[in-house]
Structure 1
Amino acid sequence: MAHIIVFGNEKGGSGKSTTCMHTATALVRAGLRVGVLDLDLRQRTFTRYLENRVDYGARHGVQLPTPEVMGLPKIDRADLSEGENPFDKSLSLAVAELEDKVDFIVIDCPGSHTRLSQVAHSLADTLVTPLNDSFVDFDLLARIDPDSATIIGPSVYSEMVWHARQLRAKAGLKPIDWIVLRNRLGAQEMHNKRKMGQALEDLAKRIGFRVAPGFTERVIFRELFPRGMTLLDLKDIGIANLNLSNVAARQEVRDLIRALNLPNVDITV
């Protein structure tokens, strides 16, 4: 059975699709078979990333390791059983078609609460939640007292993950390995950065996730999108001499793959 990695939160602008694309590409470059599903049916950022990648390779004659894209099948409501949800069936059919052909299924969820996203979370073996290093984004996970910085209680997204865990437990599936990524970390050790780190560590103990460093804010991540490239592809497109910033960014990708602790993945990718 394929290992399912779900990238999700309920807030846009956290670098979710960029993180998703780098993870999927890293796994393909490690010699693994990867299928991807983009559940953001409106923006389709992950799909556009892959389309740009295929187009760039075709135009420049470059063979780039690329995951297999799977679209969601259209469901005829006449074929549904009584009470069956069309989104549930569509996602189930797509996963079923991929899971015997690939080692990993990577699912990119929209930055909002949808039925597809909710179902995808319950399918996750590994759940990755990229989060900007800000208390604005932290509010997605938990409410915090502004004076004492103590955690008052879980917020909407954490409650959805808890519900997904309950569904998996009832189905006899293994628990979700939930990782929260601190994206767009500042280079300097600022007071807010320390408070954010402490709040995440405290919350991790209460609701059960691991904290890992994500990607620092770098221009190159935005520049790569039109070509569908990742930092692991630069030598393939003729950029052999990387500057220090690019070398550091590529190391962040490798550190991310190690932090995910996925089964049968070579961390030297």
Structure 2
Amino acid sequence: MAPSNAPHRIVFANEKGGTGKSTTAVHVAVALAYQGAKVAAIDLDPRQRTLHRYLENRAETQRRRDVALPTARFDVFKGESVEELEALSAEVGEGMDFLLFDTPGRDDAFARHVATTADTLVTPLNDSFVDFDLIGQVDAETFKVRRLSFYAELIWEARKKRAMSTIREQKREMDWVVVRNRTGFTEARNMRRIDQALTELSKRVGFRVTSGLSERVIYRELFPSGLTLLDKGHLGELGTSHLVARQEVRQLIAGLNLPLPGKPQRELALAAGA
């Protein structure tokens, strides 16, 4: 049984790589930290360690520039059992408001475990039926949803069990959010088909859909410094594309509708600079 004061678990999960999980996770973590929340993060990919490396770079930038940046406590999981993962989660998440997990872009037992225990499950998808196949299969002629994927069924069952035990065990209900990344590069007809398929599937499975991040060079350029688009005053002069990207981040944070302790639900990125 999770204690009522346990950190809110946000899990970024997709069994396909290249969907923007780590970039999304870092920007969400920093946005929450800017609002005064205590944030921790665990990277479940001990090989690539993208989230871990991003936050390491951020810490190095703070040292090099002698500045204080809102950030997250972070670690990488290198254990071999769910029990070890939960022990690390308890250690890293102690006293935190939020505990984020960045999962590898492949089927992984630990990724499945944290996905089924998430309070907020974030599944970034690029706007293509290659990525849509993770959650559902469509008919080749009509593009109607034919069946749920194994992953969608896994989350559906986890959400049903969670709902039944919410009151009895003082657990939070799981909020599943599908984040549509890179939509600006999708052909209009294909986008409409994906719209229809996501709408149909969301009614069957119960996830929400919100807009995410486009494919912009700025996101890749920020990685070596560990900075985010919310770090106003540390990025230098920004062009129009960068300002649009910052607005994307704000819209994403608002769409996730995360419960900031002690404050009403609102757009969390407001305090990060307009």
TM-score higher than 0.5: yes
| Aligned counterparts, 1:150-189, within 5 A | 150-169=144-163, 171-172=165-166, 173-186=171-184
Aligned twin of 1:229 = 227
User: What's the counterpart of residue 79 of structure 1?
Assistant: none
User: Do structure 1's residue 111 and structure 2's residue 105 form an aligned pair?
Assistant: yes
After the TM superposition, which residues 64-79 of structure 1 pair with which residues of structure 2 at under 5 Å, given as runs? 64-72=69-77
Q: Distance in 2 between matches of 1:261 and 1:27?
A: 11
Query: 1:30 is matched with which residue: 10, 19, 35?
Result: 35
Structure 2 partner of 1:77:
none
Shift of 1:93: 1.0
Which amino acid in structure 2 is aligned with residue 177 of structure 1? D
Q: Does 1:243 align with 2:242?
A: no
Q: Secondary structure at the match of 2:10?
A: strand
- 2:48 is the counterpart of 1:52: no
Relative to the length of structure 1, the TM-score reads 0.89
Stretch deviating more after TM superposition (125-134 or 255-264): 255-264
Change (3 A) 1:87 1:204: same
- Give the Cα–Cα distance (whole angstroms) in 2 for the partners of residues 170 and 201 of structure 1: 25
Number of residue-to-residue matches in the alignment: 256
Counterpart code for 2:253 = I
Superimposed CA distance per residue, residues 182-217 of structure 1 (whole angstroms, 9 cap, x where no aligned partner): 101126761111111111111101111000000111
Rounded Cα–Cα distance in structure 2 between residues aligned with 1:151 and 1:59 = 51
Instruction: Tell me the equivalent position of 2:253.
Output: 257
The residue identity in structure 2 corresponding to 1:225 is F
SS at match of 1:70: strand
Aligned to 1:134: 128
Deviations 1:63-108 (A, max 9, x none): 221100134475xxxxxxxxxxx52111211222244411111111
For the residue of structure 1 that corresponds to 2:234, the secondary structure is: helix
Gap runs ≥5 in structure 2: none
Q: What CA distance in whole angstroms lies between the structure 2 residues aligned with 1:120 and 1:212?
A: 21
TM-score normalized by structure 2? 0.88
Counterpart check, 1:122 vs 2:124: no
User: Runs (4+) of structure 1 moved beyond 4 Å?
Assistant: none
Match of 2:14 in 1: 9
Counterpart of 1:153, as a letter, is R
Alpha-carbon contact 1:35-1:102 (below 8 Å) kept: yes
Residues 11, 100 of structure 2: 8 Å contact kept = yes
Q: Separation in 2 of the partners of 1:178 and 1:134?
A: 19
Q: Distance in 1 between matches of 2:76 and 2:145?
A: 40
SS in 2 for 1:236: coil
Whether the 8 Å contact between 2:14 and 2:106 is mirrored in structure 1 is yes
Gaps of 5+ in 1: 75-85
Secondary structure of the structure 2 residue equivalent to 1:211: strand
Task: Give the root-mean-square deviation of aligned CA atoms.
Answer: 1.8
The alignment status of 1:213 with 2:211, answered yes or no, reads yes
Aligned partners of 2:52 and 2:75 also within 8 Å: no
